[in-house]
Amino acid sequence: MNELRREPVTGCWIITYLDRIPEVKDFKIESNEKKGEATCPFCWGREDQTPPEILVHRKYGPPNSPGWSLRAVSNKFPALRIEGELNKEGVGVFDMMNGIGAHEVIIEAPEHKRDAADLTYAEAEQVIWAYVSRSIDLRRDKRFKYILIFKNYGKIAGASLEHGHSQLIALPIVPKRVQEELEGAATYYNYKERCVFCDMIREERDEKERIVYEDEKVIAFCPYVSRFPYEVWIMPKKHASDLTGLDRDTVPSVARALRDSLLRIKKYLGDPAYNFIVHTSPINGREREDYHWHIEIMPKLVKVAGFEWGSGFYINPVPPDIAAKNLLSVKLEEK
């Protein structure tokens, strides 16, 4: 019989299939073949087609020229702009403010056809350090309340450019989805005097059925209440509420867990589209005892349709223990 499972942070309910579990061939996985190299603005030699570098890891050459291994630039078509004032006001029963924020792109490698799953561990570390560095810098702007870091891979996941990149948006408000997670974590902590995410880590380590990566610093697992098939969460074992608190000893583990998880998903499922999101505390909540920063990876294998929108439930056709077992069957080489 299928099961209803409740996620302890937001209270979201999931229907997990146990009766009939689909195989990879049962998913319609759209091709993510990269064909736009000839005109890609993120490739070596086209640095003049993006805004100037904000952050760069450069092997040689002057700024805004070839020779880099990672670049962070402002988005050419930003959702929010950094110039101006918020000017909050009411419009009848509604609230309105100017579209102030920051919207940046982290170009993860110079080669067009390499994505996050194809990076070496050293290159993946550069990406994590870019997230941390840009977050620390944008924290200094008093207008910003939250920094959202995410990656869209593949057209159906929202990627408008093929070249491997992730994005960062600094917001003048804390998003509702983030606030719900914070409130759920606080409720759990106030009742049990423990972090719910730390409890999740202990549970996963005790059961050992859903872990896809683990070392002394970090764990990656398919959560017991997975909303999507082959969903993976990555967490530092040491409690920390904010990404910017990452230390030098932990960054390599986060990079390895992220790269290995993405590569397992790519190899086992045939390179599906996916999103990943860095869940971190608001700018004024760096030392929260009730919250634990983490990364959520969500492959795009099923469609969210009327039932999900109407009920707030999700339907996951692949139990997380089966997903973890399948991902672990992939043999990885050291890079």
Give the closest residue to 50 by CA, choosing from 67, 74, 14, 85.
74
Q: Are 101 and 170 in contact (CB under 8 A)?
A: yes
**Among 112, 165, 292, 294, the one annotated catalytic:** 165
Beta pairing, strands 232-236 & 218-221:
antiparallel
DSSP track, 28-84: ---------GGG-TTSTT-GGGSPPEEEEEESSSSTTSS-EEEEEEE-SS-SSBSSS
The pair of three-digit structure tokens given for residue 45, joined into one six-digit string: 């030699």
Decide the pairing of beta strands 165-171 and 102-107. antiparallel
Two tokens, residue 27? 């998913």
165 is catalytic: yes
Q: What's the per-residue H, E or C state across 181-226?
A: HHHHHHHHHHHHCCCHHHHHHHHHHHHCCCEEEECCCEEEECCCCC
Instruction: Give the CA-trace dihedral at 315, 156, 262, 137, to 10 degrees.
Output: -110
3-state secondary structure of 8: coil
Contacts of 7 (CB under 8 A, 6+ apart): 13, 14, 223, 225, 227
> b vs e for 50-83, b when ≥16 Cβ sit within 10 Å of the residue's Cβ?
beebbebeeeeeeeeeeebbbbbbbbeebebebe
Q: Rounded CA gap, 286 and 199, in Å? A: 20
For 88, phi then psi, to 5°, come to -65, 140
Q: Report the C-alpha gap between 198 and 231 in whole angstroms.
A: 19
Residues serving a catalytic function are: 165
